[in-house]
């Protein structure tokens, strides 16, 4: 089975401060991991993903995440928050590599607020 847990349904930071959004996964085999962002009244868009290879993954808008197998974590970070980063962020996992069972399981989301 695959599952993800996002710690903190709401995170608030000041503009310019470090952003840290936490995601832990549960799987019995190597996972593929994703972070998506959703701006108000829009669909989700991919920020970054880890499939294989380098464990530090860089995405769009200055975000990055590190896959840590020993901690079963895939936390999302950004060194300096910008007002435009205010959105809801979703972590997702899949164990499948195709076939009839290729689907993602999403966390419940973390709402990021950026204060001026």
Partner 1 sequence: DAGITQSPRHKVTETGTPVTLRCHQTENHRYMYWYRQDPGHGLRLIHYSYGVKDTDKGEVSDGYSVSRSKTEDFLLTLESATSSQTSVYFCAIGDLAGPLGDTQYFGPGTRLTVL
Residues at the interface with partner 1 (CB under 8 A)? 9, 32, 34, 36, 41-46, 49, 51, 90, 94, 97-109
CB closer to partner 1, 98 vs 116: 98
**Tokens found for residue 56:** 């530090």
Q: What angle do CA 110, 65, 46 make, to 5 degrees?
A: 65
Q: Cβ 84 to partner 1, closest distance in Å?
A: 18
- Min dist CB 106 to partner 1, Å, is 4
Cβ nearer to partner 1, comparing 7 with 104: 104
CB 99 to partner 1: min, Å: 7
Neighbour count for residue 50 (Cβ, 10 Å): 20
- For residue 5, the minimal CB distance to partner 1 (Å) is 11
Q: Are 107 and 5 in contact (CB under 8 A)?
A: yes
CB-nearer residue toward partner 1: 49 or 72: 49
Token couple for 76: 């999302």
CB atoms within 10 A of CB 104: 15
């Amino acid at each position: 089975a695959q599952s993800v847990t996002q710690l903190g349904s709401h995170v608030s930071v000041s503009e310019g401060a470090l952003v840290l959004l936490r995601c832990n996964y549960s799987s019995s085999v190597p996972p593929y991991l994703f972070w998506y962002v959703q701006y108000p009244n829009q669909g989700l868009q991919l920020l970054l993903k880890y499939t294989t290879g380098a464990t530090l993954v860089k995405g769009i808008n200055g975000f990055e995440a590190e896959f840590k197998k020993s901690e079963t974590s895939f936390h999302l970070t950004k060194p300096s928050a910008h007002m435009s980063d205010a959105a809801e962020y979703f972590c997702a996992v899949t164990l499948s590599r195709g076939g009839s069972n290729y689907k993602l399981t999403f966390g419940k989301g973390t709402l990021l607020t950026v204060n001026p």
